[in-house]
């Protein structure tokens, strides 16, 4: 029997997480939240693609809560030995309440059925839909919820709503959501309001200071992006690096990649980089991005393939030369998003979890 050789870290692209930028963003956000307002770091979807294992230990001492999308993600937080409170945004499910209790997770109830489900063993936050049009109870259901919870002698440990457009400053839709939210709060028993009250996502925190209440839930801003896509005082935390695997002379008139979507207008060098749409580079970015290698920007050319992208250079770049796909010297998630018709969130979460991530 022979021993199988599985090379470690053989992957030819890697993610670097800047500890310094993460710290910087935490500081900016703490300042914006202000004294006495608690901060929930939203770490769903592998910490917005940054890597749960790297991000969580770095920030658990700097925030009050973690917000996750699912019970599984909540259990993952606990498996890392982290003890700060965790709110699971997903609607609570019957039969899983004992898991919430076992792992000390806080549940979210956002429908009559879910309110009927909760019990005294599991703290829960009540979610209201003030215009997000996703999960949550309507204002009209308040009397019914009060009567159900009174009968069960239960008090929610938090009250929450979620904005759909707080990324846009001065939006009348968001102001209306806030108005509805304040009206809902007015109708709820005082004993319920002793717990946490929260509404603001990153956009709320940045553009609507009146939406902070007793806690804010920042996601994208923590990772260095303003939700409106503007450059801001925040600093992107993630850089994506790879290397040249092949560099060959390329003559004027030769075509690159599937469908021959790019033709060389002069002689030069074709650079091949081992990252493609299987790694999370949207195919829509074909021919649209610039990379950084050996001190200069190089144009990505031809269609993005599953495992490779190509670039064109006036000078040869030897195999092994580092290439920054995405980072301070090339482009960032906002630029990629703009050019591929999506948002920074989707670019970041789309970076494949198989890619090695390291703190720098």
Per CB under 6 A, the list member of 15, 56, 71, 89 interacting with ligand PLP is 89
Task: Give yes or no for residue 50 binding ligand PLP (CB under 6 A).
Answer: no
Closest to 215 measured CA to CA, from 26, 47, 40: 40
Furthest CA-CA distance within the chain: 79
Catalytic residue among 175, 179, 194, 258: 258
Torsion of CA 325, 329, 330, 333, to 10 degrees: 80
Question: Which residue minimizes CB distance to ligand PLP?
Answer: 219
The span of 14-22, 144-152, 212-220, 298-306 binding ligand PLP (CB under 6 A) equals 212-220
Per CB under 6 A, the list member of 32, 162, 241, 335 interacting with ligand PLP is 162
Task: Give yes or no for residue 136 binding ligand PLP (CB under 6 A).
Answer: no
Per CB under 6 A, the list member of 59, 118, 220, 298 interacting with ligand PLP is 220
Smaller CB separation from ligand PLP, 137 or 221:
221
Task: Give yes or no for residue 312 binding ligand PLP (CB under 6 A).
Answer: no
Per CB under 6 A, the list member of 111, 177, 202, 286 interacting with ligand PLP is 202
Closest to 288 measured CA to CA, from 258, 264, 311: 311
Distance in Å, CB of 195 to ligand PLP, minimum: 16
Closest to 329 measured CA to CA, from 223, 263, 236, 250: 236
Instruction: Look up residue 238 and give its two tokens.
Output: 């993630």
Give dist(CA 157, CA 139) in Å, integer.
Answer: 19
Q: What separation, in Å, do the N-terminal and C-terminal C-alpha atoms of the chain show?
A: 40
Distance in Å, CB of 82 to ligand PLP, minimum: 19
Distance in Å, CB of 194 to ligand PLP, minimum: 22
Residue whose token pair is 């074909």: 286
Per CB under 6 A, the list member of 130, 164, 201, 340 interacting with ligand PLP is 201
Smaller CB separation from ligand PLP, 65 or 240:
65
Catalytic residue among 44, 223, 277, 345: 44
Per CB under 6 A, the list member of 33, 42, 293, 331 interacting with ligand PLP is 42
Is 100 designated active site?
Answer: no
Smaller CB separation from ligand PLP, 18 or 344:
344
Is 44 designated active site?
Answer: yes
Residues 233-262 that bind ligand PLP (CB under 6 A): none
Whether the CA torsion 4, 9, 13, 15 is positive or negative: it is: positive
Task: Give yes or no for residue 217 binding ligand PLP (CB under 6 A).
Answer: yes
Distance in Å, CB of 300 to ligand PLP, minimum: 28
Active site residues: 44, 258
Q: Where on the chain is the footprint of ligand PLP (CB under 6 A)?
A: 42, 44, 89, 162, 201-203, 217-221, 227
């Amino acid at each position: 029997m022979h021993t199988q050789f599985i090379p470690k870290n053989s992957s030819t692209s890697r993610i670097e997480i800047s500890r310094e930028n993460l710290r910087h963003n935490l500081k900016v956000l703490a300042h914006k939240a202000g004294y006495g307002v608690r901060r929930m770091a939203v770490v769903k979807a592998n910490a917005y693609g940054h890597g749960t294992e790297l991000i969580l230990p770095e920030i658990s001492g700097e925030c009050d809560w973690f917000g996750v999308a699912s019970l599984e993600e909540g259990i993952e937080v606990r498996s890392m030995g982290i003890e700060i409170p965790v709110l699971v945004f997903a609607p609570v499910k019957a039969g899983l309440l004992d898991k919430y209790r076992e792992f000390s997770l806080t549940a979210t109830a956002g429908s009559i059925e879910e309110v009927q489900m909760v019990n005294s063993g599991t703290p829960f936050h009540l979610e209201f839909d003030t215009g997000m049009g996703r999960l949550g109870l309507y204002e009209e259901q308040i009397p019914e919820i009060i009567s159900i919870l009174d009968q069960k002698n239960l008090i929610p440990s938090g009250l929450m709503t979620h904005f759909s457009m707080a990324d846009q400053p001065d939006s009348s839709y968001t102001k209306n959501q806030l108005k509805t939210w304040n009206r809902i709060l007015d109708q709820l028993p005082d004993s319920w309001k002793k717990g946490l009250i929260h509404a603001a996502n990153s956009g709320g925190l940045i553009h609507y200071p009146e939406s902070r209440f007793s806690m804010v839930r920042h996601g994208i801003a923590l990772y260095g992006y303003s939700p409106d896509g503007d450059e801001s005082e925040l600093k992107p935390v993630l850089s994506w690096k790879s290397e040249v695997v092949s560099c060959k002379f390329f003559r004027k008139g030769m075509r690159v990649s599937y469908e021959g979507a790019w033709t060389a207008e002069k002689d030069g060098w074709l650079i091949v980089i081992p990252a493609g749409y299987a790694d999370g580079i949207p195919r829509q970015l074909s021919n649209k991005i610039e990379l950084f290698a050996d001190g200069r920007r190089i144009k990505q050319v031809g269609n993005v393939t599953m495992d490779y992208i190509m670039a064109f250079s006036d000078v040869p770049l030897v195999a092994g030369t580092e290439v920054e796909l995405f980072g301070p010297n090339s482009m960032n998630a906002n630029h990629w998003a703009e050019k591929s018709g999506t948002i920074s969130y989707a670019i970041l979460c789309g970076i494949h979890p198989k890619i090695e991530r390291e703190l720098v």
